[in-house]
Amino acid sequence: MKICASCFSDRELKGFISTSKELGDCVVCESKNQPLLDISELFDFFQALIKNFKLDIYGATLNSRLTFQWSFFSSKDTSIKILSYVLPNLKTDIDSPYRSVEYIDEIIENYKHWDILKKDLKWKNRYVINIERLEDLGWDGFFNTQFELKKETPLFRARLHHKSGLQAYDPKDMYCPPEKEIANGGRANPLGIPFLYLSDNPETVLYEVRASYLDELSVGTFKLKPEFESIKLVDFTEETSLYQSDYNRITDTIKSKILRVKIGNDLSKPMRRYDSELEYIPTQFICEFIKVYTGVHGIRFNSSLHPNGKNVVLFDQNLLTCISVKKVKINSVNLQGMEIKH
């Protein structure tokens, strides 16, 4: 069986297949005049991949895990056709794409430790934690999916006005409070250690500050200072490629992706009025862990309040300059979005 890049959504595998010099029509997705690869050349990869799953009647089907959880195949039908051909050629008890599977115990233990750690940090040991356990699990190497923030890329930050009729804030007032003693704890930063919270577009920040009808705000535009070409952020939003040329890395790729998804969901979770600040402690800890073990300058994660919006937290606000500030007034609010007036 010969397949083409259009059979897959995985960007690394699509790139690999696209380098093939053989052209023809794909028998799986029926794409015409495409670079083709004999599926047998991927048997070793699939063998290394499938060993990360075990049969479990309470699990999801192998087809759905790879197609929907990992966006590996381009469609459900393509997934079924390819897996039905590949699985009989592998050494595995999983003989059908319809078999219900779960991850192997090694992977489950890894991502479940995040829930254990959260409870320990809140209710057991807050300041003396077993870092060696995290290193044994490999967490010190699981945050290498990084986003490059370039100097020309704008970021945005909003501040609500405490009364109407005020002018837009001065750019110097759009940063964290200069007195660290009054810096509140947030989803990423501990009490007294200010981080700068921003978003990748001016609309998202309105949602993040919970702007309401007739509220007036200042929205600042930030860019990296001229002396920085770019900085690195740990990216909790990037789609992880399951295909690895080094098949020994597949298990760690799965571990790190699931862990980042779980942590990213907690970072994105909005704080409700009745939530305790104890809820912040685990994500504050993981940001400190990331800062120490990766040397990056911040994190990037999805906004749960504005679809497609992304938030950025910088550990050091002195990397940025506020280049302009606009006053914004919320004219109307609806379930789809906000209308604003500059």
- d(C-alpha 330, C-alpha 328), whole Å: 7
Domain boundaries, the chain: 2-103, 146-341
Tell me, what's the pLDDT at 334? 53
Tell me, what's the pLDDT at 333? 59
- d(C-alpha 331, C-alpha 333), whole Å: 7
**What does residue 11 show for φ and ψ, rounded to 5 degrees?**
-65, -35
Tell me, what's the pLDDT at 335? 41
Tell me, what's the pLDDT at 272? 65
Tell me, what's the pLDDT at 274? 62
Tell me, what's the pLDDT at 178? 76
**pTM, 2 dp:** 0.89
Per-residue pLDDT of the chain (342 residues; tens, 9 = 90+): 999 999 999 999 999 999 999 999 999 999 999 999 999 999 999 999 999 999 999 999 999 999 999 999 999 999 999 999 999 999 999 999 999 999 999 999 999 999 999 999 999 988 888 899 999 999 999 998 889 999 999 999 999 998 888 999 999 999 988 767 667 888 999 888 899 999 999 999 998 888 888 889 999 999 999 999 999 999 999 889 999 889 999 999 999 999 999 999 999 987 666 667 788 999 999 999 999 999 899 999 999 888 889 999 999 999 999 999 999 998 865 544 445 554
Which residues make Cβ contacts (< 8 Å) with residue 319, sequence separation at least 6? Answer: 224, 225, 228, 231, 297
